[in-house]
Amino acid sequence: MSPRVFIVGATGFVGGDLIAQLTTTHAEYQLSALVRTPDQASALSTKFPSIRTVIGDFASREVLLKEASDTDVIVQAANADDELVTFTLLEGAAGNTTSPATYIHISGQANLIDLAYPLGKAQDRIYGDIDKADDILNLPPYHIHAAIEQATIAKAEILGVRTAIVSLPLMYGLSRGLSPQNPNFRFYIDAVLKHGRPFVVEQGENIQIHTHIHDVSSAIETVIVEAFKGATGKATWGRDGYYIVESLEETFLETAKAVGKVLVSQGMIASDGIDHLGSDKVGDFWGPGRLVWGASMRSKAQRLHALGWEPTANVRMRAEDLRAMTEFEMQARKIV
């Protein structure tokens, strides 16, 4: 039987690009995906004819249980903090009596934000998923994603399900799926256009990890491939299966400058000079923006590198991709 992969979040920015990656590099995989509506099923099948779609939502317990129990690898790339869908998928994975499925939970590095640290300032602390793994898995529950990550590992241990958590950084580039644009980037464009100039939170010196969406997909693919290797694989699981994805470090100030240049060239704003705004003002544009744009998040992908994964994008390519993302946003608004 061909390897089977069930994807939740298939129409999203990450899930869609992962499907494109797997259909390109692993045509032998049988891919299935949860979608909410017949229209989504039609759109996904049109773009990826080999995929099998299943209609349901996070509350479709029987659908999720059946799909999770009939597959080999489950990728939850939808809502990282949704306990209902996560626990249902884990229960379904445990229900496969012939070969329990591997559950891969896609999370995010917002859990690494020190909420007590001043926004807009660089931070020295770097989390590695080997040398700081215990720190990550024992973060206080008020840290973003921390509670669900810890609950997922604990539930999987009880059910006897092999589990990995893949923690994603800030992402750039256009997805190859049904949702090409990163929604966080769209929110920043909205805010800049509303404000009239590019801006940063406070000093804008906060350092963040940025990884191209294609590199994110290849990282998730690396873990999936390891799951199919069984006892011969090098991957570790459970509490030792926390995989950080990272490549380029950049201050948010550098991101704001790149976006500003493109918007000026498109005639959308008059100046690419950078404004330094307080967190309250930034929060008025988009509530989470004060953290997404103002917090430091630094990490090291130690486990993925040990498996042979390496990102392909570089600083020059990031500048080009930021331009492409901004231009795409303008085209999507029918402004250009």
Q: What is the pLDDT of residues 193-246, one digit of tens each?
A: 999 999 999 999 999 999 999 999 999 999 999 999 988 999 999 999 999 999
Distance CA 253, CA 268 (A): 19
Q: Which among 234, 254, 230 has a CA at the least distance from the CA of 243? A: 234
Q: How far is C-alpha 35 from the geometric centre of its chain's CA atoms?
A: 18
Distance CA 1, CA 221 (A): 19
pLDDT of the chain along its 336 residues, tens only? 799 999 999 999 999 999 999 999 999 999 999 999 999 999 999 999 999 999 999 999 999 999 999 999 999 999 999 999 999 999 999 998 777 789 999 999 999 999 999 999 999 999 999 999 999 999 999 999 999 999 999 999 999 999 999 999 999 999 999 999 999 999 999 999 999 999 999 999 999 999 999 999 999 999 999 999 988 999 999 999 999 999 999 999 999 999 999 999 988 999 999 999 999 999 999 999 999 999 999 999 999 999 999 999 887 788 899 999 998 988 887 654
Distance CA 185, CA 182 (A): 5
pLDDT attached to residue 110: 96
- Strand 207-212 relative to strand 248-251, pairing: antiparallel
Class of domain 4-327: alpha beta
- Give the up-direction half-sphere exposure of residue 181: CA atoms within 13 A in the CB hemisphere: 19
Other beta carbons within 10 Å of 204 = 25
Cβ pair 113, 144 in contact under 8 A = yes
Q: What is the pTM of this model?
A: 0.96
pLDDT attached to residue 165: 98
pLDDT attached to residue 266: 86
Q: Which among 173, 249, 163, 152 has a CA at the least distance from the CA of 217? A: 173
Cβ pair 5, 224 in contact under 8 A = yes
Per DSSP, 273 falls in state: P
What are the domain boundaries of the chain?
Answer: 4-327
Cβ pair 278, 203 in contact under 8 A = no
Helix, strand, coil % in the chain, rounded to nearest 5: 45, 20, 40
pLDDT attached to residue 319: 86
The count of residues in the chain is: 336
Helices 183-195 & 315-332, crossing angle to 10 degrees?
Answer: 70
pLDDT attached to residue 230: 83
Cβ pair 136, 214 in contact under 8 A = no
pLDDT attached to residue 96: 84
Q: What is the largest CA-CA distance in the chain?
A: 63
Distance CA 176, CA 180 (A): 6
| Burial environment of residue 47 by CB neighbours within 10 A (0 to 12, 13 to 18, 19 or more) | middle
Distance CA 68, CA 72 (A): 8
| Burial environment of residue 60 by CB neighbours within 10 A (0 to 12, 13 to 18, 19 or more) | middle
Other beta carbons within 10 Å of 41 = 20
pLDDT attached to residue 336: 45
Cβ pair 59, 79 in contact under 8 A = no
